[in-house]
Amino acid sequence: MKISDNKVVSFNYLLQNAAGETLDSTEGAAPLPYLHGHKNIIPALEAALTDHTVGDRLKIELSAEQGYGERDEDLVQNLGRSQFDNGEALEVGMMFQMADEDENIRVATIIAIEADKITIDANHPLAGESLVYDIEIAEVREATAEEIQNGRVELP
């Protein structure tokens, strides 16, 4: 069965940056499942997987723009500590959700903490990185009606 819209695809992968450093992998874990055609993975990666079948191995190289975009230094901001006054202990590396000026939800990371300000970075952690995926297609199946309606794979 070929990968196409409304198919559930599971794949093993090794993700590296352009320098060959491993960023992520399914090694020692189950293959990653996603619903093809529903924007559950990077669009350029999804496009590259189209029409492949179980057992196919491929190497996909994505520019930063095709992956998580270029870094935007405007997304690094200093916020007043009072904006975090919810009683939770703050730590560098802590991630949280916030709305941008268009009310889109973004994930931001605390990158510095000072007495009166918190510096956050709302760039994706892989923004600005060229990405290299080594992929093996493990399974392709028809999606259930519920999966198609929900736009995602229903995990057990």
Strand, helix or coil for residue 93: coil
Do both 97 and 111 map to the same domain? yes
Who's near 29: CB < 8 A, 6+ residues apart? none
Confirm whether 91 is domain-assigned. yes
Strand, helix or coil for residue 22: strand
4 versus 89: which is more confidently predicted?
4
Confirm whether 2 is domain-assigned. no
Do both 21 and 57 map to the same domain? yes
Do both 45 and 91 map to the same domain? no
**Domain housing 64:** 7-68+127-150
Confirm whether 1 is domain-assigned. no
Confirm whether 156 is domain-assigned. no
Do both 43 and 16 map to the same domain? yes
Give the tokens for residue 18.
Answer: 């352009």
The pLDDT tens digits for 1-54 are 999 999 999 999 999 999 999 999 999 999 999 999 999 999 999 999 999 999
Distance of alpha carbon 63 from alpha carbon 59, whole angstroms: 13
State the distance between the two ends of the chain, measured CA to CA, in whole angstroms: 23
Give the tokens for residue 129.
Answer: 């990185």
pTM of the model: 0.82
Distance of alpha carbon 1 from alpha carbon 107, whole angstroms: 36
Q: What's the CATH code of the domain at 37?
A: 3.10.50.40
Confirm whether 155 is domain-assigned. no
Residue 13's pLDDT is 98
